[in-house]
Amino acid sequence: MTYLTVYTDDESPQTLLRTEDQERIAVSLKEIGVVLRHWGIVAGLPDGAGQEEILDAYREHVQRVVAEEGYTFVDVAQLHPDDSADWPERAAAARAKFLNEHTHDDDEVRFFVSGSGIFYLHLDGKVHAVFCEAGDLLSVPAKTTHWFDMGTRPDFTAIRFFHDDDGWVGDFTGDGIAGRIPDYDTIAAGRSGA
């Protein structure tokens, strides 16, 4: 279930809102042009399912979004902790990639099949930290200033939608705000302790 925290974007960010009320979250995100939808989770997908199996399981939903929004490329991104010696390094590198504020020329659309991650949307003097979990489909419009934190122990499977399959790059703003707002680990810990 989605969990939203809203902060001010100044030097000492204050918490303006903290809620798991799905209706309230949808309204709050709609005000900043971001669409959050929920799909039923398909039961029985095995751990370790590959891209084809996952896309097959959600085919109807995926096809509807593609038809509505004109996406031309869909894939699956996943990262799960393992015992390999290079896991900590791979996890840190993956996390660092989009951890600073940036924009894209395309929408950033993600459906969480499993696991979680936080999209931080920076608009109108506020930061909306959207903690997404299995069943959440978040559509961040092109050019929206945002960042993404998968935490220090990334664990998620997500379906991604694109209008263009090459050049998925971040245009970084150089703003250090991501360092001032509570990160994934902090928000996740605060939530479970609430």
- Point out which residues bind Fe ion (CB under 5 A): 98, 108
Nearer to Fe ion, 39 or 98 (CB): 98
Q: Look-up: residue for tokens 């593609």?
A: 66
Residue 26, exposed/middle/buried by CB under 10 A (0-12, 13-18, 19+)?
middle
Which one, 108 or 136, has the nearer CB to Fe ion? Answer: 108
Between residues 58 and 119, which has the closer beta carbon with respect to Fe ion? 119
Q: CA angle at residue 91 from 86 to 92, to 5 degrees?
A: 105
Closest CA to 177 of 123, 107, 97: 123
Token pair 């299995």 in the structure block, residue: 134
98/162 with CB nearer Fe ion? 98
CB of 194 to Fe ion, least distance (A): 27
Q: How far is the CB of 98 from Fe ion (least distance, A)?
A: 5
Q: Smallest gap, in angstroms, from Cβ of residue 33 to Fe ion?
A: 15
Which residue is associated with the tokens 């309230």? 24
60 is in an annotated binding site: no
108 is in an annotated binding site: yes
Q: How far is the CB of 177 from Fe ion (least distance, A)?
A: 14
Residue among 57 and 121 whose Cβ is closer to Fe ion: 121
DSSP state for residue 61 in the 8-state scheme: H
Report the 10 Å Cβ neighbour count for 54: 22
Residues of the chain by 3-state class (helix, strand, coil), percent to 5 = 25, 35, 40
Report the nearest approach of Fe ion to the CB of residue 148 (Å). 6
Q: How many Å apart are CA 115 and CA 157, to the nearest integer?
A: 6
> Cα dihedral sign for 124, 14, 121, 170?
positive
Question: Is 101 within any annotated ligand binding site?
Answer: no
Residue ranges for the known binding site for Fe(2+) are: 102, 104, 108, 146
